[in-house]
Amino acid sequence: MPGGHTEALSRCRAAALHRTATADEGDGPVTIPRLPAREDAERELSRPEYHQHDPSLLHRALDWLWDRLGDLLRTAAEAAPGGSVGLTVLACVLVLLLVALRLRLGSLRARPTTDSAALFTDRLRNAAEHRAAAASHAGADRWNPAVQERMRALVRSLEERALLDPRPGRTADEATNEAATDLPELAEQLRAAARIFDEVTYADRPAGPTDYALLRDLDNALLHTRPNPPASRTPTAPTPHGWAV
């Protein structure tokens, strides 16, 4: 309320004059004690109509925070070379470094380990069923699951042909490295297929029709390839950091 405090003081003075006027004239000048006058003023100023426009508690807290932030920025500007301009340049450099670091590292999501990311996570299906699922996903342009299902079909087919020993938790890298021992002419394509599967499944890279076509053609080539006679093929031990297919 504009002028509210002035009005309250006027009322207090009026009350004091009233006390003076009603005092006994024979007693001489009347002096109002300081303590009762102060109490009258405090009582008058505590009335609600004088505090209708006071800032809220939240507003006062925000004002205090802004004041502290301003003090902090002023202190930093005084300490930084070049004052406020130097502080602005340092802040821009820091932001650019953070952006560059984020682009360099890529996704910060934790990658799953072989214990929680097995290739065959659902019921046991044969290679033909995985191929059918892959073809269905590819027909709907769902390339990520199409690539994953085709890789599963490829590995399951190798197991069905006894080129791989069935083993739960096998990774794509392990499967292709073992298969490359008996199929050296397809070793490069096998490792490329495993790399595509890992990037799509664990690095969140979107797959495309080219990726699917590579796995499909490799799967078809494996069906018509006669492996070299295994001399002494032994199962490859699981790699400590491999990703399950």
Tell me how crowded residue 155 is: count the other CB atoms within 10 A of its CB. 30
| Residue 46, both tokens | 């505590």
pLDDT tier for residue 83 given thresholds of 50, 70 and 90: low
Percent of the chain topping pLDDT 90: 26
Tell me how crowded residue 233 is: count the other CB atoms within 10 A of its CB. 15
Which of 41-50, 163-172, 176-185 is least confident? 41-50
Digit-coded pLDDT (tens) for 11-20: 655 655 555 5
Digit-coded pLDDT (tens) for 94-129: 787 787 777 766 554 444 443 334 455 555 789 999
In angstroms, the CA 206 to CA 199 distance is 8
Q: What is the pTM of this model?
A: 0.47
pLDDT tier for residue 74 given thresholds of 50, 70 and 90: confident
Query: What distances in angstroms separate CA 27 from CA 15, 18, 84, 146, one per listed residue?
Result: 19, 16, 69, 108
Please report the pLDDT score of residue 84 as a whole number. Answer: 66
Query: Domains of the chain: which residue ranges?
Result: 4-50, 57-105, 127-223
Q: Which residue has the higher pLDDT, 72 or 132?
A: 132
Please report the pLDDT score of residue 171 as a whole number. Answer: 87
Helix, strand, coil shares of the chain, percent, nearest 5, are: 65, 0, 35
Which of 209-213, 215-219, 233-237 is least confident? 233-237
Give the mean pLDDT of the chain: 74
Does the CA dihedral 171-172-173-179 come out positive or negative? positive
In angstroms, the CA 241 to CA 205 distance is 19
The yes-or-no verdict on residue 80 having pLDDT over 80 is: no
